[in-house]
Amino acid sequence: MAAPRWARRSRGHVRGGAGGRHVTPGAPESCDRLPGLPRRERCPVRGSVGARGMVAMGTPLPLLFLPFLLLPPAAAAARAAGPGLEERLFQQVRDHFSFQTCGNETFPQRYLVSAKFWKKGFGPIFFYTGNEGDIWTFAQNSDFIFELAEEQQALVIFAEHRYYGKSLPFGLESTQLKKTHLLTVEQALADYAVLITELKQQYGAADCPVIAFGGSYGGMLSAYMRMKYPNIVAGALAASAPLLSVAGLGDPTQFFRDVTADFQKSSPGCVTAVRRAFQQIRDLCLSGAYDEISSKMATCNKISSKEDVYQLFGFARNAFTMMAMMDYPYKTDFMGHLPANPVKVGCEQILAHRDPVQGLAALVGVFYNSSGSAQCYDIYQLYQSCADPTGCGTGPDAEAWDYQVCTEINLTFNSNNVTDMFPEMPFTEAMREQYCQSKWHVRPRARWLQTNFWGGDLKSASNIIFSNGDLDPWARGGINSSLSPSLIALTVKGGAHHLDLRDRHKCATACSDHSGEVVQGLLALATSLQARSRGQQPPMQGRARGSQACLPTSCWV
């Protein structure tokens, strides 16, 4: 869902991972019906990170004496992100829920910290709950948090999610079979809870309130932190967090229907042209004209079978997904190099071509060939199917996400060529189970998040702002109506995927009104919590413009 997801969100991943064999969730039977049918260790072995150059892991350490490691200045200086960020490592417990000896084994969890704006001992702590990728990627694309930190004199922390980036519980072997069992939402949340507790002690910040921030999957985690650890996290901003979709709630056709709607809003003729292009490819497939498909779509290797055509469809659909998610009003390098308003640019590309298939090749090039230097598309290298129909990405991070969407995270979206513009590509729960069993030897728990994290029944939670952009195809899978005076849902008009976490000064009119609402709510929360921690009376109640529920201090509990 995210994502960045991130260097992950380049939406293709290296073959291998769990045993080396890539397993495709669906396989076509014929061109006229391309979608076809889908064809713990008790105590982990101790090891060393080795090639990563990190400290050795596997040594049991007392929980109360976990050391903090500061990377050499050159390592931190090599990165350019938010003001004053330093990269550090924390010896994190591998398994928070085991009381056996192996439960005390540790691994180096990476986090970033900036005290540049912090009023020591008094300012709040802004804690970013890292999602499925390198933590620097999120820090470099969350300027809003630093802007707010300067206003509120806050300590800023970005924590990397286990199994992603450099936070690898079993080093380079972390995504191998029998090493993935500690990759769960619950373990990640416990990591964050332990890290926050230890850092508050280290910084002398026992009375400083913690506000969690996150976008996409990270937004889910920020909400879950407030729900699961309200004693540690006082409030949360959950941006573009698809809490309902991942819990198996909602319509499986919603996502690609909303991607289609984004392109329809940009140009009504765009969707018609896209449908025509996919239909022409299907017709060429039926006639066996694979060479013509290859030529017009500029594939590096010749299309030679219905399986190749099905792969081409997934490859193309993935570009639309990424362009809709990253439809920012300015150019970005987040999850790919994209121009400002990529949906509009893509529609202009396809409409400029008389041949619809060549136009489709130009449209997907907005994402896959932003530099204009690629001579052809390697459709198997640039995109690989996985248990997330919206894409898993490339490399080890993609493997980790694939495992997560095979266990707790439910993303059984499909396109049907009726409510959306894409070829019919089903992804049923049965197909997901078959894929996950074959690749990871696991069976998904489709209802687990409803049980463990409340599904859509969140009314007993408090102090969470749910924000969604109306251009974001993930939005309808999240919370879009306020549930109580302290569970606020806000909409970013003209906003794509967690646009509100980005630099608000770049947004211009696209998100200025919403940024004001979010700032007002979070400042009210921070002010209220700080006042109460000192035994003072919180300021008077107010009401945010455009919100049905109040965002003032007296609404927060």
Cβ-proximal residues to 469 (8 Å cutoff; 6+ apart), any chain: 240, 475, 491, 492, 494, 495, 496, 497, 498, 499, 500, 511
CA distances, 182 to each of 44, 94, 95, 188 (Å): 10, 7, 7, 9
Distance CA 542, CA 527 (A): 13
CA distances, 261 to each of 257, 321, 353, 359, 470 (Å): 6, 12, 22, 19, 11
CB 533 within 8 A of CB 122: no
Catalytic residue, from 167, 472, 498, 514: name it. Answer: 472
**Where do the H-state alpha helices sit in 54-181?**
73-77, 135-139, 143-152
Question: Is 216 an annotated catalytic residue?
Answer: yes
CB 405 within 8 A of CB 388: yes
* Three-state DSSP string of 462-485: CCEEEEEECCCCCHHHCCCCCCEC
DSSP 8-class letter at 328: -
CB 111 within 8 A of CB 88: yes
Question: Is 222 an annotated catalytic residue?
Answer: no
For the record, the structure tokens of 438 come out as 């074959």
- Distance in Å from the first CA to the final CA of the chain: 30
Catalytic residue, from 10, 114, 167, 216: name it. Answer: 216
Distance CA 54, CA 56 (A): 6
Cβ-proximal residues to 464 (8 Å cutoff; 6+ apart), any chain: 223, 226, 227, 235, 236, 237, 238, 458, 486, 487, 488
Longest Cα–Cα distance in the chain: 77
Calculate the CA dihedral of residues 413, 160, 82, 232 and round it to 10 degrees. Answer: 100
Secondary structure of residue 86 in the 3-state scheme: strand
Neighbour-count burial for 420-430, b at 16+ CB within 10 Å, e otherwise: bbbbbbbbeee
Distance CA 387, CA 398 (A): 11
User: What single string gives the DSSP state of each residue in 405-450?
Assistant: TTTT------B-SSSSSS--B---HHHHHHHHHHHHS----TTHHH
Catalytic residue, from 13, 96, 497, 514: name it. Answer: 497
For tokens 């209802």, name the residue.
Answer: 447
> Which sign, positive or negative, has the C-alpha torsion 196, 201, 204, 208?
positive
For the record, the structure tokens of 317 come out as 């659909």
Q: Are strands 86-93 and 68-70 parallel, antiparallel or unpaired?
A: antiparallel
Secondary structure of residue 496 in the 3-state scheme: coil
Nearest CA among 216, 157, 143, 142 for reference residue 401: 216
Q: Which sequence positions are flagged as catalytic?
A: 216, 472, 497
